[in-house]
Amino acid sequence: MPAAETVAVPGQRPLNGLFVAGSGTDVGKTVVAAALLRALLLAGVRVQAVKPVQTGVAPQDAHTAPQADARVYASAVAGLPQGVDMLPAQALHCFALPASPHLAAAREGARLSAADLHKDIVRHWQCGSAEMLLLEGAGGLRVPLNEREDMLDLMAAVGAPVLLVGGNYLGGLNHILLSLDALCHNGLQLAGLVLVPTADPAAGCPGVDVQAMLADNASMLRQRMQHKGIHAPLVELPRLAQLEASAWQTLAEHLEPLASHLLSASYGASYGAEPGVGHGAGYTAEHTAKLGAERDQALVARDHQAVWHPYASAAQPPMLSAVSRTRANRIVLTEGRELVDGMSSWWAAVHGYNHPRLMDALHSQAGRMPHVMFGGLTHEPAVALAERLLRLMPAGLERVFFADSGSVAVEVALKMALQYQQGRGASGRSKFLTPRGGYHGDTFGAMSVCDPVTGMHSLFSAMLPQQIFMERPGCRFDQPFDPASLNDARRIFAERGAKIAAVILEPVVQGAGGMWFYHPEYLRGLADLCREAGALLIFDEIATGFGRTGKMFAAEWAGITPDILCCGKALTGGVLTLAATACTGEVAQQICAGGNVFMHGPTFMANALACAVACASLDLLEEENWQQRVAQLESGLREGLAPCAGLQGVADVRVLGGIGVVETHEPVNTQALQRYFVQHGVWIRPFNRLVYLMPPYITPAEDVAQLCTVVAGALRAGAHLMSQ
């Protein structure tokens, strides 16, 4: 077995941080952060306390105002030697109004966002000399940053482990448990839980045995954490009358086990401390980066021993980059680097990753009913999704059949066409006509209608049904239509029309078969030929559906309705696998004539989780102006990829909607290109002679420009050449 190959990413060092959050306001979060700061400094770590948002303090008073958290931090470390390792605390944004961050910022004409605050944190980290940042949030997890985002969204964007501080008092359990659930649902790692007693833990309920109650709170939380599989320390702090020097030392000593845990080899396996080096000079950003790369390589090595990847060899495993998190249009690698996503996770994640609306739909439906068999039962998410799809699809489609994946949706479409022809007494129509250059999936029926030469399935040709292939549509999308492009279709219909059950093709854009954009008039002419010959027309919109070409469905470019339409990929926004095959009422009635039924039924058909997320994804498309976003993508791709047209070895550059393509004369060196792209901070996966981009619709203009710049740079550098 070859050694595991991974990609080292030069440049920015991964953020090494800990987010200190509270289960509510005034639970002692700042005191805990300050005491932990002291404990880490005593352990020899070059740590800096950073407050992303400080309210109730004017910027000029960030270190002097009585309410400034920086004063508390300074007080906590006042007894320590003032050496070079003492990094001053920093507040990145200060607002004078003592209120929630969104309100305090608005009062001064500012607007906070998780993305901008995350950039500020990363910028501060890159420019500083700290080995670790101790980030303190403002208030509880759900304190608003703006009308849509909370402090929790900032924590999710940063992705650092979270130290949760909870008030240990009567009723505090509820807030802490809800906070633990919120952290879990957002995929955040709990670094530890610290309980701080209030001034009067039994307030509102006199006669309570306070010590017994506090001990029970801690015991209950330990049990709940164990039940949830959370292996993080729980620390109980004493309440001290005054926070003077000895008090800070007492608190730091109570937190020393937590600090040791953070710096331990076991915690470092997922966080960044060097194995075998718990404290002191061994805890550096360089060590963190090294350990991140080692973790990445270890995961890739395990993968190569157990996993088989798509279109890859098990004997010669592919080059891999290990992923730990995703967010927005970013893929975060295990070793900490971030990549700008240019693929939308194989064209599916149109809203980017971890969109809160999609995650909320997933969690909400999971709490009610993750799945139930669809034979003899139904449920609201499936019915609602079918209704909405029929409203969005070309007029005339009346029935929706749900499937597990795009390939299965194509199988369903082919079976529908065959059963339709049998139902109308045309059982001799058993062949499918399809253009060369098409791709429809990897299952057997789908493989039979993929290009027999370039469709990756020539190994199985002896076992596949033999279909009929016509010339690829030769009329470019951006050129005047040539009626002669339909001549081959006319010839085949004239010669073999009585054998053809249906024509299947990808409307306007041939995807994996070559990213070819052809004229919509071709579809109109082909529809006429199908009607004249008694054949059905099937549109495979798995890649083109839901706005990717600039229309909700690519069929709209031609203004026609197929008899059957397949969709998938972006249907759930890239969160879960789901596909659908829709047909006209006539097709459905003919299949079911004489009491017949359609012979297909996937076990996970109409999965409730996937249907609920798909409905939320359609909500986002409607609410967030996908047309404008795709138009902006198209403009950015046209401008950004234009310089590639003049580069040596480039055959064509074409853009349509949210798809940008650079086609080369010769097949590209996929592995060398992939390495180049990751090294330059983007995720692009080329194939054959194509380097193409399909970014999420939410991708900002500067990231589109970066994707295009890196593509052009790779081609200029010759990274695509097979000799590399």
**Is 311 designated active site?**
yes
Number of independent structural domains in the chain? 3
> DSSP string of 91-132?
ES-EESS-S-HHHHHHHTT----HHHHHHHHHHHHHHS--SE
Around Cβ 451, how many Cβ atoms within 10 Å? Answer: 22
How much is the pLDDT for 5? 43
Q: Who contacts 57 (Cβ-Cβ below 8 Å, separation ≥6)?
A: 65, 67, 68, 91, 94, 95, 96
Amino acid (1-letter code) at residue 644: C
Whether residues 132 and 216 share a domain: the answer is yes
Whether residues 25 and 162 share a domain: the answer is yes
> DSSP string of 128-170?
S--SEEEEEEEEETT-BSSSS-BHHHHHHHH---EEEEEEEST
Whether residues 256 and 125 share a domain: the answer is yes
Is 96 domain-assigned?
Answer: yes
Whether residues 27 and 109 share a domain: the answer is yes
Is 308 domain-assigned?
Answer: no
pLDDT band at 282 (very low <50, low <70, confident <90, very high): very low
Question: Distance between CA 412 and CA 574 in Å, rounded?
Answer: 21
Last residue of a domain, which of 224, 242, 271?
271
Beta bridge partners of 367: none
* Domain span at 267: 17-271
> Which tokens hold the place of 154?
């900032």
Q: How far is CA 351 from CA 546, 547, 571, 626, in A?
A: 11, 11, 11, 9
Amino acid (1-letter code) at residue 262: L
Is 669 domain-assigned?
Answer: yes
Question: Distance between CA 601 and CA 143 in Å, rounded?
Answer: 46
Tell which residue, 84, 159, 278, has the closest CA to residue 287: 278
Identify the active-site residue in 540, 563, 697, 703.
540
Q: Which residue has the tokens 């304190």?
A: 143
Residue 274 has pLDDT above 50, yes or no: no
Average per-residue pLDDT for the chain: 91
pLDDT in tens, 213-256: 889 999 999 999 999 888 899 999 998 878 888 999 999 999 99
Residue 309 has pLDDT above 50, yes or no: yes
pLDDT in tens, 530-571: 999 999 999 999 999 999 999 999 999 999 999 999 999 999
Q: Note whether 660 and 637 are within 8 A (CB).
A: yes
Query: Taking the CA of residue 515 as centre, how many other CA atoms within 13 Å lie in the half-sphere pointing to its CB?
Result: 24
Mean pLDDT of 152-177: 92
What count of residues does the chain have? 724
Question: Distance between CA 163 and CA 140 in Å, rounded?
Answer: 12
What letters, b where the CB count within 10 A reaches 16 and e where it falls short, cover 32-51?
bbbbbbbbbbbbbbbbbbbb
How much is the pLDDT for 454? 66
> Which tokens hold the place of 160?
């650092």
Question: Distance between CA 38 and CA 45 in Å, rounded?
Answer: 10
pLDDT in tens, 428-473: 999 999 999 999 999 999 999 999 876 566 778 788 889 999 999 9
Is 676 domain-assigned?
Answer: yes
Mean pLDDT of 74-85: 78
Q: Where does residue 19 rank: exposed (0-12), middle (13-18), buried (19+ CB within 10 A)?
A: buried
Whether residues 438 and 516 share a domain: the answer is yes
Tell which residue, 457, 463, 468, has the closest CA to residue 431: 468
Q: Can you list the positions of beta strands (E) in 554-706? A: 564-567, 579-584, 650-656, 659-664, 682-683, 690-693
Around Cβ 293, how many Cβ atoms within 10 Å? Answer: 20
Amino acid (1-letter code) at residue 199: A
Amino acid (1-letter code) at residue 283: Y
pLDDT band at 271 (very low <50, low <70, confident <90, very high): very low
User: Strand 397-403 relative to strand 468-470: parallel, antiparallel, unpaired?
Assistant: unpaired
Q: At what angle do helices 701-717 and 626-641 cross, to 10 degrees?
A: 30
| SS3 assignment, position 47 | strand
User: Strand 579-584 relative to strand 650-656: parallel, antiparallel, unpaired?
Assistant: unpaired
> Which tokens hold the place of 32?
């805990």
Beta bridge partners of 690: 663, 687
Whether residues 600 and 694 share a domain: the answer is no
pLDDT band at 206 (very low <50, low <70, confident <90, very high): confident
Tell which residue, 97, 99, 14, 101, has the closest CA to residue 51: 101
Q: Note whether 287 and 271 are within 8 A (CB).
A: no
Is 291 domain-assigned?
Answer: no
**Is 420 designated active site?**
no
Question: Distance between CA 560 and CA 319 in Å, rounded?
Answer: 43
Q: How far is CA 408 from CA 89, 402, 412, 514, 568, in A?
A: 57, 9, 6, 22, 10
Beta bridge partners of 234: 193
Whether residues 642 and 608 share a domain: the answer is no
Whether residues 555 and 420 share a domain: the answer is yes
> Which tokens hold the place of 296?
């990445």
Question: Distance between CA 724 and CA 421 in Å, rounded?
Answer: 52
Identify the active-site residue in 341, 420, 569, 703.
569
Whether residues 514 and 376 share a domain: the answer is yes
How much is the pLDDT for 456? 63
Residue 285 has pLDDT above 90, yes or no: no
Beta bridge partners of 166: 195
- Across 65-74, 241-250, 525-534, the highest mean pLDDT is recorded for 525-534
pLDDT in tens, 348-364: 999 999 999 999 999 99
Q: What is the 3-state secondary structure (H, E, C) of 443-503?
A: CHHHHHCCCCCCCCCHHHCCCCCCCEEECCCCCECCCCCCHHHHHHHHHHHHHHHHHEEEE
> Which tokens hold the place of 27?
């639970």
Whether residues 708 and 617 share a domain: the answer is no
Residue 25 sits in a domain whose CATH number is 3.40.50.300
pLDDT band at 279 (very low <50, low <70, confident <90, very high): very low
Amino acid (1-letter code) at residue 54: Q
Last residue of a domain, which of 250, 271, 292?
271
How much is the pLDDT for 373? 97
Angle formed at CA 145 by CA 144 and CA 148, multiple of 5 degrees: 75
Whether residues 540 and 656 share a domain: the answer is no
Q: Who contacts 355 (Cβ-Cβ below 8 Å, separation ≥6)?
A: 573, 620
How much is the pLDDT for 442? 92
Q: How far is CA 178 from CA 22, 174, 204, 366, 437, in A?
A: 11, 6, 22, 17, 53
Q: Note whether 675 and 663 are within 8 A (CB).
A: no
Is 478 domain-assigned?
Answer: yes
Amino acid (1-letter code) at residue 281: A
Question: Distance between CA 105 and CA 145 in Å, rounded?
Answer: 9
> DSSP string of 656-723?
ETTEEEEEESS---HHHHHHHHHHTTEE---BTTEEEE---TT--HHHHHHHHHHHHHHHHHTTT-TT
Last residue of a domain, which of 254, 271, 288?
271
pLDDT in tens, 87-100: 889 999 999 999 99
User: Strand 17-22 relative to strand 132-140: parallel, antiparallel, unpaired?
Assistant: parallel
Residue 637 sits in a domain whose CATH number is 3.90.1150.10
% of the chain with per-residue pLDDT over 90: 78
Is 283 domain-assigned?
Answer: no
Whether residues 505 and 593 share a domain: the answer is yes
The phi, psi pair for 194, rounded to 5°, reads -115, 125
Around Cβ 1, how many Cβ atoms within 10 Å? Answer: 10
Is 377 domain-assigned?
Answer: yes
Residue 447 sits in a domain whose CATH number is 3.40.640.10
How much is the pLDDT for 15? 86
Q: How far is CA 330 from CA 19, 327, 350, 471, in A?
A: 20, 5, 12, 39
Mean pLDDT of 610-619: 98
Q: Note whether 303 and 320 are within 8 A (CB).
A: yes
Identify the active-site residue in 271, 439, 518, 697.
439
Q: Which residue has the tokens 């759930």?
A: 572
